[in-house]
Structure 1
């Protein structure tokens, strides 16, 4: 049985939707470090020497790359560490009911400082200064402050990963994250793209939100960190 494109989402994204951003050294590719910390590897059995050369070309000495899916073969001089199994969830159909678009704004360069401040507070590990180049980001402002946001990250021409779905602690409990989630999921369906996302198994509150709004578990997918051996 052939593998699904979402079984190797970083690699597939860098081959398609984000081809123009890819830093590539066969059989691997990565996003620029200021965009995202993610690296993908071809799933067709590259040998360890080729992988070691690719990693050396793509990962600076003081950097750690993050991978999703099937791990690459061992490469001399490199340490691959399993971080967790994430829930990969997919929304196969538009969410029932109209999403309330009132107050939802598309976040542009003029909002960049607000985006970085919010993600540094509640989503600090994966959002970089150039992450907004990956897709569209939307937010809700309250009293002049960015109260919640959601955006698009990886994907192919048929699938879009929703990411950075987060709410400032001062505004939790007002339904902002749900409004943004439903708005963005349904907007992608209207564009003939199926939304999906990744969420930690240690975040049951988020999983419950996604399950109540049309997302179902597609699979558990392993999450890895790769860096030079000490």
Structure 2
């Protein structure tokens, strides 16, 4: 696998009868769940989500469409929690927003993507260690089958997993780098940057462009990603909501 400095240029949204088609990264989870990640999807009409042991990510075809919210309520069930991204206005007060935050989306524009000689492929057998590392570092949601969403790489020291990164949401032409984390005792060695470059090399090799998300409050991570070749594309909101009604007894 050769080093790649300049990312491939993804195809631009194409005109449709009603105008320009939305960019896949404007609603990446929906684009993934109705495209490359269809096999992981549960869907009711205009709402979709990843299977419960894969990822907590949920998506609406159009957050401004009340029909999508009705489909989401049917998909998730009454009185349950679900995550929804984007600038949203729930259709009624029966939807309770439990938590909200800001999310930053960055895209690869000048990343030096290259394999790492110490990085090892992680799979199902490594999940217990991966879950332990995630529990100690809190990079974001990672569940028992998240590893199936794409390639995950790790670095071990004396046989112990001390850093990892991998792939999550995959809209057409793009792949999200996620679960970037390093054991607190081994930070400051550039392990996360090395793994991001290595994961990006695999993404580039199959013709996709890397992107990633981080919390808007995580200014250190934003500065790091921008310094290695990512560019801020957009800032949006994410919300944890409770669906209307009471759950069954």
Name the TM-score, length of structure 2 as normaliser.
0.83
Q: Which structure 1 residue ranges, 4+ long, deviate > 6 Å from structure 2?
A: none
Partner in structure 2 of residue 212 of structure 1? 227
Deviation at 1:151, TM superposition (A): 0.6
Please tell me whether the aligned partners of residues 216 and 235 of structure 2 are also in contact (alpha carbons under 8 angstroms): no
Q: Following superposition of structure 1 onto structure 2, how do residues 88-103 of structure 1 map, counting pairs within 5 Å?
A: 88-93=105-110, 95-96=111-112, 99=114, 101-103=116-118
In 2, Cα distance between equivalents of 1:69 and 1:44: 8
**Counterpart selection for 2:60 from 41, 50, 57:** 41
Cα distance between partner residues in 1 of 2:161 and 2:24 = 34
Q: Is the 8 A contact 2:69 2:90 kept in 1?
A: no
Q: 1:9 touches 1:68 (CA, 8 Å); kept in 2? A: no
Query: In 2, are the aligned partners of 1:7 and 1:221 still within 8 Å (CA)?
Result: no
Residues 14 and 29 in structure 1, CA contact (< 8 A), matched pair in contact too:
yes
Secondary structure of the 2:242 match is strand
Contact 2:63 2:69 in 1 (8 A): no
Cα deviation, residue 55, structure 1: 2.4
User: Which region of structure 1 is more displaced relative to structure 2, 62-71 or 169-178?
Assistant: 62-71
CA 1:52–1:41: 2 relative to 1, 3 Å = closer
Q: CA deviation at 1:3?
A: 2.9
Aligned residues of 1:51 and 1:75 also touching (Cα < 8 A): no
- Give yes or no for contact 2:94–2:243 (8 Å, CA) kept in 1: yes
1:55 matched to 2:72: yes
Q: 1:161-196, CA deviations, whole angstroms, 9 ceiling, x for partnerless residues? A: 000000011111111101001111232122210100
Is the 2:24–2:172 Cα contact (8 Å) retained in structure 1? no
Aligned partner of 1:65 in structure 2 is 82
Answer yes or no: is 1:19 the counterpart of 2:38: yes
Spell out, residue by residue over 1:176-229, the C-alpha distance to the aligned partner (whole angstroms, 9 max, x if none).
101001111232122210100001122122112211111010011211222125
TM-score by length of 1: 0.89
Count, aligned residues? 226
Secondary structure at the aligned position of 1:220 is classed as: strand
The one-character-per-residue Cα deviations of 1:13-63 (angstroms, maximum 9, x if unpaired) are: 1011111111000110011121111110112853x3x34542232214464
Q: Structure 1 residue 202 and structure 2 residue 210: aligned?
A: no
Instruction: Say if 2:125 is the partner of 1:110.
Output: yes
Alignment of 1:152 with 2:171, yes or no, is no
Q: Please, which runs of 5 or more residues in structure 2 have no aligned partner?
A: 1-19
Offset of residue 117 of structure 1? 0.6
- What do residues 135-155 of structure 1 show as CA deviations (whole Å, max 9, x unaligned)? 111100012211100010002
Q: Any stretches of 5+ residues in structure 1 without a counterpart?
A: none
C-alpha deviations, 1:57-100, integer Å up to 9, x for none? Answer: 2214464211222426515632245612211000034x23x635
RMSD between aligned residues? 2.2
Say which SS state the counterpart of residue 240 (structure 2) adopts: strand
